[in-house]
Each structure stands twice: as structure tokens, then as C-alpha cells.
Structure 1
Amino acid sequence: MVEKQLIKKEFYQTFTDENDASQPSRVLGELYVKEQQKDVPDLSYIRFAQGEVYYANYDFEAAIFKWENIDNELEPWAKKNMADAYFALEILSTAESIYKSVQTDNIILKTEVSLQLFTLYVQQGKLDSATKVIKEAVVLNPDYPNITEIARTFFEEHGDARNAVELAVNEAIRTQSLHWFDLLNTYIQDGLTKKIQPDYFMDVLMALYHSDKKRLEKIVVSLWNSYKGEDTYFSWIRDMDRFLAEIEVDQSVSWTELSTLYQQSFLDLMSGKYLLKQLSGIVPNHLSNWLKISDNSHGLYSASAVLAWSELFPSTIKVSAAEEAENVIAAFRTRGNGHEESLRLFDTITAWAEQNEVEIGNRFKWLAGELADLNTHHLLIAGSPGNGKSAFINAILGENILEHDVQAAVLFKGDEDNEITEIDDSEIRHIPELASASAEGTVIDFKISSRFLTENGLSLFNIPNFRGTRSERNEAVQYLHLADSLLFVLDAGSPFTERERDMLVKIAGEAPNLPVHFLLNNIASIADEQEAIKLVDDTWTRIHGYFQEAKLFAFSSNYESTQQLSDLAEFIQANASNVNTVERRNSNLLFLIRETITMLLKSRVEMENGLIESIKWNEEMANKLNGAINQLSDVEKEKINIIQKSYRGRKQKIKNELEDQIPKLLQGCSDIIEEDSDYGSLHVKLNDEMNRRIREYLSETMLPKFNQELEEWIEFSKNEFGESQAFLADMSDGFNSMFEEERIKLECDFKVLDDWRRDADRMTSGVPVDTVNILLRFTPSQFLLKSAGKLFGAIQQNKVMLYNKYTQFVENEDYEEAKTLIINNFMQPFEMFERTLQRDVTIFFRNPFRVLKQTVEETQSEIVEKQASLDQIRTNPELYRDPLRMFEVRLRQLEWMEMAGKQLSHR
């Protein structure tokens, strides 16, 4: 009672009664005066009460003054109240200091101080301090009114998931209150526990196990779903299995949701995502516990999973668990939805194979698709050659479809439109007719408008005639597992021969559960009715000795009769009604899955060998390509030399002619000298004439000649380039043949020739020739001659002498300097053109070099890629092997499920 008053600051009420409750200050004042008059006054209690009254009236300073002078057992409460007053005055640092100074053993006071500190820290935004204080308060006094709710609200408002979860766990264990268990479940479902290690929850699960098993399942389910896909998923499974191993499972309690999760986790663990080293320490206990908690709807699944794992990994499952699993399976009378489970497993394997770049093959996928169709009865038609099997099928279809032997297996299905699809492992293609089908190894999906097939929900499966070779037997065995029943065609002329009997015995050995029935064909060939009846009876008797459940139908493909087809339909339907289609299809699916796993195991070896061969082949190709680059480099150098040499020869030919003709041309200018010429200016006239004749000669004679030479040279280069292109075309064909695709195209750049033609036209369309100073040079001979002309030219008798001197000079001068200058100027563009020839020929070959080098890079890249894949296969064979091992566990599980209700021999 007193502690409640102290908490509420109502201790002063101990000094007042109902009559003076409205005047506590006056009452306490009077008591204070009276107490003070005593010889040994004890004023602490009254002062404490006065402080409460001052506090209630917001006189915080007066209250603090009173509480500062308390020296009895109320001193800790007084300090707490002083801190409250400073808190109210918003002097928070002082309030905090005083709160922390309170020394007491009183749990209630400690709790109140903690709550006040908590409130102060929240107000200051010191959330870490607030968290610490409230957690300590909960630990100190968890039953204090509302303290856990205060803590919960604080943690939730501030997103402190870890502490909220911790509080719920601790309170659930401590109080066993369903409220806290349900709150914890809410936290789990909200995803607040994903980052917490699973073993943290084992104690709370154990606490709930003893109080409410249904709530236990709900929390376990929530935790399970929260850990899926997390890094802690395997830890959760281990901890959960340890937990279940420690408890006794009450068989009266149904763990339906938990059992479903165990089934889902088993499927996930067996999905090919995990390696055996990850699973070996988990799965055995996991399966045993699944069996332990399984309800009726999951007992078959868990028991078959236990036996499958135990079979593939002996000694990992306890003998007691394996025996219990066998008993469960033996006790079951239904087999569940094994067909759907088998289809799901095949899809899982297919998806895994695609992710690992392994091709299962179109035929396997097609077979699985056909086995998934439960609406059509697959009737396999077989027989020895010459028994009239094709004629029988044609009679049913109403068309001569099978006119010739077809090496492929053909499935005829009723459909509105006709469509023929040929399927092999690598390709699916439509074909116009059966005659267009490839050789054996393919299957034909033949949709045909057939009333007989449609009305009877029937598909006819025709396989090539048995000839007894190993490959044919293997092919037949594969397709036996598509059939729901087998109709074996016999010839009335020699029915059920020893060879046919042996053939059927082998079929029964490969597919022991395949219903076999017989059709006695060509019965119309027996003219006598009694003899025909006797033949039918004798044939059936012989058949019955080997196939006691078989039925026999007499038929004649030559006898077109609606009644005959009606009777046949009734015969087939009666036989089909005795077949459990779902069970039969599931059995066939399981066979197909086992064949697929076996094929994938072989593919791993083939993959490794294929990578080795691919690396070796690519290395050889890289060497060949580098060799081709070297060859092309030699060709390029050769063509550069040939083309440059040809150009230089033609250029030199022109130059030689110029060197020969220019002096003669200049010397011939003496014909303009006359005796009466003006010898004072004759040298100028001669110089002008020489330049004119040079320009005319170059323009009208040499440029056309040079143009002709260049055209011939370009044509010569074209032929050389053509030889190179032909060589590269052969090289391309050779490489493409080796690559088995049009991968390389070595095309040269013939635009170079167009550029040369343009340059040739430009260079020979006119060469600007500057006027050359031929006779106006300051040479001794020219100086004397010009001087003499000016000096003596005016004297008539000297003109004959000057005429002779000028003529002699012009005709005998070698003009070497002028010739060199003229030729150099004329030849300059042609010389510059020559310097570009090597670059131009390089441009011509640039694209082939680029293609070859790029192909080398691609080949080297493929070598690196293949080598990495090969290294991974060799270094980590379990990456491929272990998933297939897990698929085999699933397969064996489904096979055990198929044995439900059958007598099992204990191992």
C-alpha cells in the first residue's frame, strides 16, 4: 500500500483524513510546527509529504528543497522524486544524474527509476540508452505492470526487430502465455526473424511443445517459410531435425502443414541445386523425422523417400526407420498422384539439363508429352514381316498410308487436320508425307482425320518390323514403354510361329506389365468356315499357353465392313478398359526417367570427350588459320613486288624514251635559225620554241603513251589480284568445309583498282610543265654566243658566222641539265604514285587478314572457354554427378510409391 502511495506521490495522505484532504498543505504545516516543538523532532516524513504536495501543485523548486533534507528510509524515494522534479523542469542532465545516484535494494523503486530514465532517454532521442535501460528493467522485474508492453511498444515503434523478437521469446518461455507465442509468430511471418540463427528458437519451440502442439506447428511452419532461400536454411533444417528427434510425437496430433513442408523441402533438396556433400549430413535425419511426423496424406511420400535414400546410400538411415517405412508402404492401398510427381520429376531433370547445356533430345521430350496425355489409349501394333500389319493399319485409317516400309516409328492420332511431324533428337520438322521421312532413329507424329481413332479415343503406334538386330530391339524396347497395350499381328497362313513366340517372350521380359493381345490377319484366306474356326481356336490355345490374359481377334484387311470395324472397336475398348491407364503411364514415365538419367550419365563422359576433341580441333584450326595468315602474308609480299616491278618497268620505259627524245627535240629547234635572224634576241626566241615543243611533245605524245602503259599495268594488276582472290576463295572453302558452316569469307578490296584508274586518268590528263630556262642560263658558251649576237649581229658580214655558230651550238648541245629538269618535273606525280603502291596492295588484302585474325581470336577464345569447362568437369565432377544422383533418389522414391500395397520382402 505504501509503495503504491510512494509511486503516485500520495504518501502525504497518511497524514490527512477525509475531512481535511482538501487542505493538505495546512495540515502538513501544522504537523510540521507541532513536530518541531518536540525535544527530538523527526521531520523527514513530514518534509517528504510536503514535497509531494508542492510537486502536485507544480512548485517543483519547493518540492526539491523539501526532498533534499530527507535522511530516513525514504531518502532513495526522495532522490527519485527530486529527479522527477528536475525532469518536469526540463533540467534533464540533472535529472539523469540524480536518477543514476539512487541506491536501493527495493526492486519496485529500481524499476520506477529505470522507467523514468527510459522516458528521459526517449525524450532526448538517446535510443541506445533507452533500449539498454528498458531491457534491464524487464530482466529485473518482468512482472511489473505494463513493463513488457512498454518495452514491446518501444521496440516496435523504433523498428528494433531483434529486441522485439527477443522479448517475445523470453516472455513466451517465462510466462507460457499464448499471447507472446502468437506475437512471436506474427514477427516471424513479418520477416523479422530471418537474420536470427535458427537454434535461437529451439527453447521456445520446446516450451510450446509442452503447452500447445497446434500452435507449435504454426510457429514451426512460419519459421520454415521464413528461412527458405536464406543462407540459414540448412541450419534450420538441422536444428529442426534435432528438435524433432528429442520429442515424442503424439500420433493423435496431425502435423499436416509440417508434413507438407517436409515434402516440399525434400523435393527442393533433390532438385539438383545441391551437392551430395551438402546433403549427406542433412537428408537422413530429415527423412526419418518426416516419416516420424507424417500424417496419412504424406506417409507414402515420406516412407518411399526413406527407402529410396537408404537404397542408394546404405547405412545412412537407421534400420528401424527403414523397416517402419517398408511397413507404411505395405499398408497403403492407394498410390497417390504418382503420375503427376513423375511428370514433375521429368520436367525438373529437363530444366537442369538445359541449365547445364546438356541436350536430352526431342524424342524423350515427345515421349514424356505423350505419356502425359491420359485421354488417349496408345495401342502399339507389332508383328513379323509379311503378316499384313501395314494393311491392317490402312484398313483402320481408311487410307493407304503405309504403302511402303517405314523405318521410323509412327504414332497415328485422330485430329481434324492432317499434319505429319518428324522428330529426332536434334530437330523437329514438318514433312509432306511418310515417304519423306528420314531413316530409322526418328519418330513420326502423324495427326490424321480418322473417325475410328477419334471415336475410340485411340492412337495407333506402329514400329518397324522386328528383324532381330540389336539396334532394332533397343528401338522397340524404348517404344514399348509408350504403349498402354500391344496388339500383335499374326498371319492366318502360319500363326504364332516359334519365332513370333520368342519375340513376344522377349517383349514380355522388357515390359512385363504390358497387356498383349493378338489379331489374326488374313482370315479371309481360309475359305472353309469350319477350318477357319478351328484355326482360330488352335491359335488361341497356343497363345494361351504363354499369355493367359491375351485375347484374339480374327480380321481380314481385304474385307471392308462397318461391322468388322465395330467389332474391332469393341474388342479394343474391352481390352483397354482392363488397363489402369494412370498406373500404366506412370510406370512408363518412370522407365523413361531412368533412361533419361542413364543417358545423362553417359552424356557427361561424352561431354568430357567432346570438350577434349573440341579443344584439340580448335587448336588445329588455330594453327591452320595462323598458317593461312602466314601464307597470305607471303602472297601479299609477292604481289607487292610483282605489281611494283611491273609499274617501275613501264615507268622506266617512258623515262628512257624521254631521255632519248628530249635532247633530239631541243637540237631540232635549230631549224628556226636563219642568216638574217636577230641574233641579239635569238636566244630568247629559241628558248620559247624549245619550251613550246617540249610541252607539245609531252602532252600529245608521252602522256597518251603513259596512259596506255598505266591501263595495261592496271589490267596486269587486276589479273594478279584475281589470282589472289581465287586463292583466298579456295582457302575460304577449305576452312568452311572444316568448320561445316559458312564462317569465313575472304573478300579482297578491288576498289583499289578503281582508285588506280582514277589516279591514272588524273596524272595523264595533263601534266603542268613549267617553262624551262634552256638557253637563258649563265654558262660560258651561252654567254659568249649571246654577247656575240648582240655585238656583231648588226654587221651584215658577221651574220653568216653567227648563223653557223648558233646552229652548231643548238645542234651539238647535250642539254643534260634541261633534260633532267624536264624529266623530273614530268615524272614527279608518277613517282609519288609509285610510293603509294605498297599501301594500296596492303589495303587490297586488309579484309582477309582481318577475317583470319578475328577467326583466330574466336578460336582461341573457344579453346579457353572449352578448357575452362573441361577443367570444371574434371575438378568438380560432383557438379554434374551429384544432381543426377539426387534425381535417381527421386526416381526410386516414385518407384517405391508404385509398390504401395504390394508384398515387400524385408531386407
Structure 2
Amino acid sequence: MRLEKQLIKKIYYETFLIDNETHPPLQVLGEAYLNEQKNEISDGSYIRFAQGEFYYHHQDFESAIFKWEKVSNELAPWAQKNIADAYFELNQLSVAENVYTSITTDNKILMTEIVLQLLSLYIEQNNLDSAFAAIKEAVSLNPDYPNVTKIARSFYEEQRDFDSAVELAVNELIRTESSPWFEVLKEYINNGFTKNISPDYFYEVLVTLNNVDQVQFTQIVSSLWHSYKNEQNYLLWLKTINEFFLLIEIHSSDIWDNISSLYEETYFELIQGQYMLRELHDIIPNLLTNWLKVANPSHSVFPSAAVLAWDEIFPSEIDSANIKHAENLLSYSINHVNGLEYSLHLFESITQWAQKHDLEIGHRFRWLVSELADLRTNRLLVTGTSGNGKASFINSILGENILENSVSNVVVFNNEAHTEINAISDSAITTTENFSDYHNMMSLHPQSDRDRAYVEFKLPCRFLSKNKLTLVVTPSFNRNNDTRDETFEYLNSVDELLFVLNADSPFTDKERDILLSIQEHTPNLQIHFLLNKIDNIYSEAEAKRVLDDTQVRINAYFPHARIFPYSSLYTNSQQLNKLSEFIHSNFNHKNIDAERTEKLLFFIRKTISYLLDKRIEMENNLVDSINWNEDMLVKLNGFINNLTAFEKEKIHLITESYRTMKYEIANDLTEHIPKLLQSCSDLISEESDFGHIDIELNTAMNERVQKYLEKTVLPNLARSMQNWIATSNNEFLQSQSYLEEISEELNSLYGENRIQLECDFKVLDDWRRDTDRMTTRIQMEEVNILRRFTPAQFLLKSAGKLFGVLPKNKAMLYNKYKQYLENEDYTDVTDSIMNKFFLQFELFENAQARDINIFFRSPFGELEQAVENTHIEIQEKQDTLHKMKSNPEVYHDPITLFELRLRQCEVILNKGEDYSYTDLTLETNIE
């Protein structure tokens, strides 16, 4: 290696200077060359090689190249490499590249040097593709060569090629098992350079580190875990690491605590509902198995509970040996889980998910959960049968007459500095400070379960404050209600129950049956009794006998129950103090957190049941809505068809009425105009100018026609038109009435005022305006009556011009004209006059059908829009229904995971007991 180092540094020439250190190197080398030439068999290659090095160091690159070209011994490959180096220094890069690439050698060191030089050359040329190929070849050829991997890493990082940098780090870590490469790879992972690389690529790295250093192994696992989180390869990573942990041995040690935490964090993340169960079935069973494997046995409550809960929800997915192991660990592990906090978080998750899917859990449920989360007060439920004085007892405690004898709502009394009254139903919370509003709240009877409200009454109360109590007062049991009474809904929202008895007839069979049902419903609820109206008993001895006898009969069914005698009539501080002592001494809660957690879990289970029922209800509602809309579509189309026929009928009636009126007027004109024209013969006399009589008569006849039309016909026509409009108005009013009936029927079906079929009565205003315009006056062009080219008129005109100048002829002309006027057939003239007269009325008539269409246009538009909206609604609901049915897991998977989280908490809560329930069926009856 010493020689190769000299060749690399180009100091081989120093071997010739060992005995001549005082002489100039060039002189020594020259003399050595001359002496070599004197030998019989001479080879100056070594000296030429050395001379070339000397010239190279003194930047005489041409001389160096000349010398190296003459080298023909085993140093020839090195000489070629040096020639390329010289050309590199001369910046003749292409020549240098050709020389480098032409060198053939088996010397790995020389080849490595050549490749490294090519790397520098390619970088100089900015030929990055060749530079990448060169450095990969160098690493592949001789990774142990000094600085090769370091150069490669630096090059990759400068070029931002972190895929290659990661590949280098992975290969070197596996090859060398060295800590520096572990740190490099971990840095790359932590900087996010590996998140798009398939996780199985690191499998051999994990094997190597697990065998070499498990601390480094856990660190690299942690880095990879965090890098893949929220990335597309996350689930694949989890699958990969789970399979890996299944194959390795784990010995109890603190080094696994971080991995255990990662498993815990991941498990909770996976079951939040963002993943489908089909994705989780391949991951979570192994994940839970490994979590149990790496967890500290003394802190294995949660992984054990998770394993057992998963096995209950998805049987046979986890090995039975691991199930048994989880059961054993659960029995002696220390519980560090805050069940109350966990339960509240679970309920909030369910609530947020429900809101996202437009499901309203209801204000009552949410308020009850918030009340249970408040551990500052004990919740005492007070109930009893009617007539036992429960209201008077509560009023005596509160110091005010608030409750009436007949209570129809649940009332919750809390101590607060200021009075505030809230009526809480599923749909709303109503707040007031007014007592009259409170009594109104109490008197309201709900129309549905969602409307049923309980009343939260906040007020300053010394007794409640002193004893840290919240009183929950329910309606009394009576003959008309039984164990399904509203009271049972609230049993799981209170910590204890105080049952009010009547001293006149204490603990009746009915009361016993009610309490046994309560105990069956909530077996862990503490029950004690208040014997009210004790003042009704005539003597202390009798009172004691009644008290003892009642105690004995109660204890036969409720051995731990105690009775407190009470008089609501004679309330005093001493009696209240004794009541406080009774409450504190008998209502004992060893673990209020656990008890409240259990109650929260009850409501969470009811919520899950509600959501499952709601899914079925949503599908049924969609089907019902689709069917209803399809029925509505038939009705709407039927109404449109009916309205179309109705419109045609009205068009026919109104236009025919108009035509009839016009026909009558036309008949009158046909009859009167000829007579009028014939009567114009009185305009002729023997003194008339028969040469121009035709012009004068034509003008006069037009004037008489115009006057007749204006004075006689138009007034009659105006009256007829007004009558026609009145008739049309009646038809329109009937139409509007008909459409109002349709609107009312449709709105009744819709259940809201959605359809308003309003006709356009402006049409009548337009008709009135047009009628007034057409019948006020008429201006007709003059009609040619006597100046047409008929034979008779031609002869008369000619005769008039020829003979009219002779007086003796005027009598004859007068008779002829008069005879002509009185006997002429004026049919064509009459038709011409009527055509001109009726022109605007015909235009009006032609527009009537269009006007009536306009009258009905808005109702048609409203109905057609309703049809279009109905089509859209049907399609939207069909799409939603199809989506729900084709992807039921979108809804059911999150609910199943909610149930899983619920079971985990139930298992933890029952730690030390039989963790499994005999019946895991979700309740479907939910308020």
C-alpha cells in the first residue's frame, strides 16, 4: 500500500532521492536516466514515470505528459491516469475524460482513483448524470476506500438527492454496523427524507440494529414511526413493523417504553374513526399483540383492556394465548387510566362525529353528561308515590314554595349565587329568571319525547351548599304509571336515591314493587328512605313503632336501607342538621370517579344505540321521502295536466264569448251599412253638379258611415266589450279560486306554505286599456264607394260629364243617380268597411290566447319548478340512499370503534372482576 500511496500522491520520484537528498531532484533523475541507458538491457520507464511526477508538481504538464507517454512497464496504467490528471489541470476536460475511460486495469485502488477523478471532472463539466454514475461506481467498487462514502454522501446532499443519500446510509449501516451511519440515517429519517420510501426497504436495517444495538434499534423505529405518520405509507409501515416485532424476542427492559408509548398513541389514533375497519383488521390484531409484548407488565392495563375489548368485538382475530396473557396482566397491572376523563373524551368524540353527520344527540343527553362530569356535588334523586308529600319536603329544604304537589317534569335543583331557570329538552334550552315562566314551563305537556323537558333550577340554598347536593326530583308514581315511568330514565344520572314514604301508610306493596324494579334496573344505586308526615302520628311511641315496623319490612328487601323520620310541616334547623347527618352517614361513595364513570358509560352506550337506530331511521326516512316525493311528482304532474286542460277550457270560453259578441256587431253592420248608403240618395237633387257628383257623394257617404260607426256602433261595442271583460274576469276569478284550492291541497301535503299559485290579473288591466282605446274613437281611411270601375258607375260618371251641362238632362241624371243609389248592392263596400273597422279588434282577438297563457304562466312555472325540485330531491335522496347502502361501513365502522372504546373503558372499570359481560347487545331503546 506504501507504493500505491506514493503513486496516488505522485511522489514515487522521491525513492530516487533517498541517497542524494542534497542534490537537485531533476539532476538526480537525469543522472539516473543516463546511468540506466548505459545498461546492456535498459528500461527507463520507472525514471520517466518519476520525472513526469516532478514536472507535474512544477506544473510543467506538457513535459510530464511526454515522459508518461514513454512508460511501458507495470506503471503504464498509473502513467495513463497521471496523463489524464495533467490534461485535467490544463482544463482539456474532454481529452482527460477519454484518457481516464480508456484505462484498463485490475488494480482496485487505481480504478477507484480514476472514478473519483472522473467524478470531479463531471462536476466541473456540470454533467451530473455521469457524476451520479461515477460516485455510485466508486462506492460499489471500493466502499472501504478512504473518504469514498464520505464524498458520496457529501455529493448527494449537495445535489439534494436524498434518495441516493438514504440508500448509501442504509447500505453502509448494514455493511459496517457502525454508529456514525446510524446517526446519519436517523437524521435523514427525522428530516422527512424517507417518508415516501416503502417501509419494507428498512427491514434489513431493523434486523441489523436489533442484533447489534437494541437502543439504536428502538431509536430508529421511533424515527421511522414518526416520519410515516399521516403519510400514505403509514398503514404499510404499521403492518411492516408489526410483522417484525412478531418475530423477535422481547425481554423486559425500560428501552421498550418508548415503543410501548408509540403503540399506545397509534392504537388510539387508529380507532378514532378516520380509518375503515377493513384497513384495521390487517393491522390492529398484530399491533395489540406487540403492544402487549413490549409494554411494562405493571403498566399493562390499557393494552390488556384493548386486547380483550377487540377480541369481544372481533372474535378469533387475536391468538388465544395472547387473550389469556392479557387477562393475567390485567389482574395485577397498576391502573393509571383516568376513566372519567377517557369517558368524557369518548362522548365528545361521538358528539362531534354525530354533528358532522347531521345527527343531533340532543341537549338533554349532553347536559346530563356534563352534570355527571362535575364531581363537586352528589346527585340525590328524590321520588315516591303520589300523596307522600314529596313537594312539601323539597320546599322545606329549599326554604321556598317552589314545587307544587303535582309535578309533571323532572326538576333539578342546584345551589348557585343567582337564580336561573333552564328548561332543557332535546331540541332547545330555554333560560329565564322569572318564577312565572318557571310555572309555565312546569305546566307544558310535551307533544313528543324530544319536546319533553326537565327543568334546571339554580338558586341560593344553604342546605344544598352545606351538603354539596344536587336534588333531582321526578314526577310521582301513581296508578297510571309503572316501572316504565320517566323516573327510570334518570336513575343512571344520580348517585343515590331517597324514596319518600307517607307515615300514614308507609312502604306499601306498590312502593315495594317500584323499588324492586328500580333495584333491578340499577343494582348499585344506594337507596334510603324518608318517612314524611311523621307529625301526623299522635304519639312518640306510636311513631317509634311505625318507624321500627317500616324499617323491618324495608330491610327484608333492602338490608342496607335506612329511614329518616321527617316533618315538612315543622321545619327547623335541628331537623335539617339531622337530615344532613343522615345523608352523610348513609350515602357513602368509596370511589365517586369510578361510579360516575360507570354512569357515563351507560349514557355512552345509550348514545351508541341511538346512533345505530338512527342509521336505520335515516334509511327508512330516505325511502319514505323518495316514495312520498314520487307520489308528489304524480300529483304535481296531474295538477299540471289538469291546469293545462283548465287553461284550454278558459281560452275557449273567453275567446268564443268574444267571437260571439263580435259576430253580433258584424251582423248589425252588415244590415245597417247598406241601408245607410242607400239613404244617401237624399243628398242628390236636380241642381247637383252631375259632372262631379260621384266625388261629392263618395265623401258624403264616408262621412255618414264614419258618424254611424262613432255615434252608434262604438258605444254599443264598448258596452259589449265591458260585458265581455266582466265575463272574462269571472272566469279568471274562478281560475284563481281553483288554483288556490290546488295550492292549499299541495301545501297541506308539504306541511308548509310552499306553493303559491298566483295568476296575473294585469292581463285584464291590459284588456281594459285596449278596449278603451279601441272604442273611444275610430279613424278609418275613406272607402271608395262611388268611384270604382264598375260598368254602372262608369256609365253614370260618363253621362254626368257629357250631359250634366244641359239643364234638360239634369232630371234624367237625377233619377238615374237616385235609382242607382237606392238599388245598388253594397255588399263589397260593407265588407271593406267592416274589414277596416274590425282590423284592430281582430288583432286583439288573435292575442287573447297568448294573454290567457300569460294569466296562467306563473302557476305553471310554480308547478313546473316544484316538479323540477322534486326530481332533484328524489335524485339526491336516491344518491344518498345508494351511497349509504353501498358503503355502510362509512357509518357503521366509526360506531363500531366507539363501541370498542366503550368496552375498553368497561373492562378497565371492572378490573379485578370478571371483565366480560354475558350480554354485549347494545340497547336499542333510547330516549
| TM-score between both structures, scaled by the size of structure 2 | 0.92
For the 8 Å contact 2:385–2:477, the answer to whether it is kept is yes
Displacement of 1:107 in angstroms is 2.2
Distance 1:32 1:375, change over 3 A: same
State the match for 1:662 in structure 2: 673
Q: For 2:399 and 2:712, how far apart are their aligned partners in 1?
A: 91
Distance 1:829 1:308, change over 3 A: same
- Residues 1:725 and 2:736 are matched in the alignment: yes
For the 8 Å contact 1:489–1:519, the answer to whether it is kept is yes
For the 8 Å contact 2:299–2:333, the answer to whether it is kept is no
- Residues 1:751 and 2:762 are matched in the alignment: yes
2:566 pairs with one of 548, 551, 555: 555
Q: For 1:699 and 1:36, how far apart are their aligned partners in 2?
A: 150
Distance 1:285 1:692, change over 3 A: same
Displacement of 1:404 in angstroms is 5.5
Q: For 1:108 and 1:508, how far apart are their aligned partners in 2?
A: 90
- Residues 1:236 and 2:237 are matched in the alignment: yes
**Structure 1 residues 392-541: aligned runs within 5 Å:** 392-403=393-404, 405-429=406-430, 432-433=437-438, 434-439=441-446, 441=449, 442-452=452-462, 453-454=464-465, 456-467=467-478, 473=484, 475-541=486-552
Q: For 1:496 and 1:30, how far apart are their aligned partners in 2?
A: 134
List per-residue Cα deviations over 1:609-660 (Å, max 9, x = no partner).
3232222222111111111111111111111111111121222222222222
For the 8 Å contact 2:222–2:259, the answer to whether it is kept is yes
- Residues 1:802 and 2:813 are matched in the alignment: yes
State the match for 1:116 in structure 2: 117
State the match for 2:249 in structure 1: 248
Displacement of 1:828 in angstroms is 0.8
Distance 1:397 1:720, change over 3 A: farther
For the 8 Å contact 1:333–1:900, the answer to whether it is kept is no
State the match for 1:742 in structure 2: 753
2:875 pairs with one of 846, 864, 885: 864
Where 1:486 maps in the other structure, the secondary structure is strand
For the 8 Å contact 2:408–2:442, the answer to whether it is kept is no
Q: For 1:600 and 1:219, how far apart are their aligned partners in 2?
A: 42
Where 2:379 maps in the other structure, the secondary structure is strand
State the match for 2:199 in structure 1: 198
Where 2:755 maps in the other structure, the secondary structure is coil
State the match for 1:260 in structure 2: 261
**Structure 1 residues 16-165: aligned runs within 5 Å:** 16-17=17-18, 20=21, 23-165=24-166
Where 2:72 maps in the other structure, the secondary structure is coil
- Residues 1:697 and 2:708 are matched in the alignment: yes
For the 8 Å contact 1:303–1:326, the answer to whether it is kept is yes
More divergent stretch after superposition (514-523 vs 602-611): 602-611
List per-residue Cα deviations over 1:117-165 (Å, max 9, x = no partner).
1122222222232222212322332232222222112212222121111
Where 2:254 maps in the other structure, the secondary structure is coil
State the match for 1:181 in structure 2: 182
Distance 1:156 1:566, change over 3 A: farther
Letter of the structure 2 residue corresponding to residue 11 of structure 1? Y
2:901 pairs with one of 853, 866, 890: 890
Distance 1:98 1:469, change over 3 A: farther
Where 1:255 maps in the other structure, the secondary structure is helix
Distance 1:682 1:290, change over 3 A: same
State the match for 1:369 in structure 2: 370
Displacement of 1:483 in angstroms is 0.8
State the match for 1:387 in structure 2: 388
2:634 pairs with one of 583, 604, 623: 623
Letter of the structure 2 residue corresponding to residue 509 of structure 1? E
1:611 pairs with one of 602, 622, 646: 622
Letter of the structure 2 residue corresponding to residue 503 of structure 1? I
List per-residue Cα deviations over 1:160-194 (Å, max 9, x = no partner).
12111112222222333333222222222222111
Distance 1:336 1:468, change over 3 A: farther
Where 2:564 maps in the other structure, the secondary structure is strand
Where 1:446 maps in the other structure, the secondary structure is strand
Q: For 1:245 and 1:510, how far apart are their aligned partners in 2?
A: 45
Where 1:110 maps in the other structure, the secondary structure is helix
- Residues 1:632 and 2:633 are matched in the alignment: no
Distance 1:804 1:511, change over 3 A: same
Give unpaired runs (5+ residues) of structure 2: 919-927
Where 1:379 maps in the other structure, the secondary structure is strand
Where 2:42 maps in the other structure, the secondary structure is coil
For the 8 Å contact 2:163–2:194, the answer to whether it is kept is yes
- Residues 1:673 and 2:684 are matched in the alignment: yes
State the match for 1:6 in structure 2: 7
For the 8 Å contact 1:335–1:900, the answer to whether it is kept is no
Q: For 2:381 and 2:20, how far apart are their aligned partners in 1?
A: 110
State the match for 2:829 in structure 1: 818
Displacement of 1:225 in angstroms is 2.2
More divergent stretch after superposition (362-371 vs 749-758): 362-371
Distance 1:21 1:662, change over 3 A: farther
What's the Cα RMSD here? 2.6
Displacement of 1:418 in angstroms is 4.5
Letter of the structure 2 residue corresponding to residue 639 of structure 1? K
List per-residue Cα deviations over 1:518-541 (Å, max 9, x = no partner).
222222222423333443344334
Q: For 2:299 and 2:698, how far apart are their aligned partners in 1?
A: 121
Q: For 2:725 and 2:592, how far apart are their aligned partners in 1?
A: 81
State the match for 1:221 in structure 2: 222
Q: For 1:298 and 1:715, how far apart are their aligned partners in 2?
A: 95
Letter of the structure 2 residue corresponding to residue 93 of structure 1? S
Q: For 2:298 and 2:233, how far apart are their aligned partners in 1?
A: 29
Letter of the structure 2 residue corresponding to residue 437 of structure 1? L
State the match for 1:319 in structure 2: 320
More divergent stretch after superposition (809-818 vs 38-47): 809-818
Q: For 2:576 and 2:23, how far apart are their aligned partners in 1?
A: 114
Q: For 1:140 and 1:316, how far apart are their aligned partners in 2?
A: 49
Q: For 1:126 and 1:405, how far apart are their aligned partners in 2?
A: 95
Displacement of 1:17 in angstroms is 4.2
Using the aligned pairs only, state the percent identity: 51
Q: For 2:38 and 2:130, how far apart are their aligned partners in 1?
A: 48
For the 8 Å contact 1:256–1:295, the answer to whether it is kept is yes
Displacement of 1:419 in angstroms is 4.5
Q: For 1:550 and 1:340, how far apart are their aligned partners in 2?
A: 32
Letter of the structure 2 residue corresponding to residue 900 of structure 1? K
Name the structure, 1 or 2, with higher relative contact order (CA <8 Å, separation 6+).
1
Q: For 2:849 and 2:405, how far apart are their aligned partners in 1?
A: 67
List per-residue Cα deviations over 1:37-71 (Å, max 9, x = no partner).
22222211111111112222222222222222222
For the 8 Å contact 1:332–1:900, the answer to whether it is kept is no
2:656 pairs with one of 621, 625, 645: 645
Aligned residue pairs, count:
907
Q: For 1:555 and 1:735, how far apart are their aligned partners in 2?
A: 62
Letter of the structure 1 residue corresponding to residue 692 of structure 2? S
For the 8 Å contact 1:330–1:903, the answer to whether it is kept is no
More divergent stretch after superposition (637-646 vs 364-373): 364-373
Letter of the structure 1 residue corresponding to residue 593 of structure 2? V
Displacement of 1:455 in angstroms is 5.3
For the 8 Å contact 1:260–1:298, the answer to whether it is kept is no
Q: For 2:370 and 2:48, how far apart are their aligned partners in 1?
A: 94
Q: For 1:330 and 1:639, how far apart are their aligned partners in 2?
A: 88
Displacement of 1:310 in angstroms is 1.6
Displacement of 1:420 in angstroms is 4.2
Q: For 1:686 and 1:419, how far apart are their aligned partners in 2?
A: 103
| TM-score between both structures, scaled by the size of structure 1 | 0.94
For the 8 Å contact 1:208–1:215, the answer to whether it is kept is yes
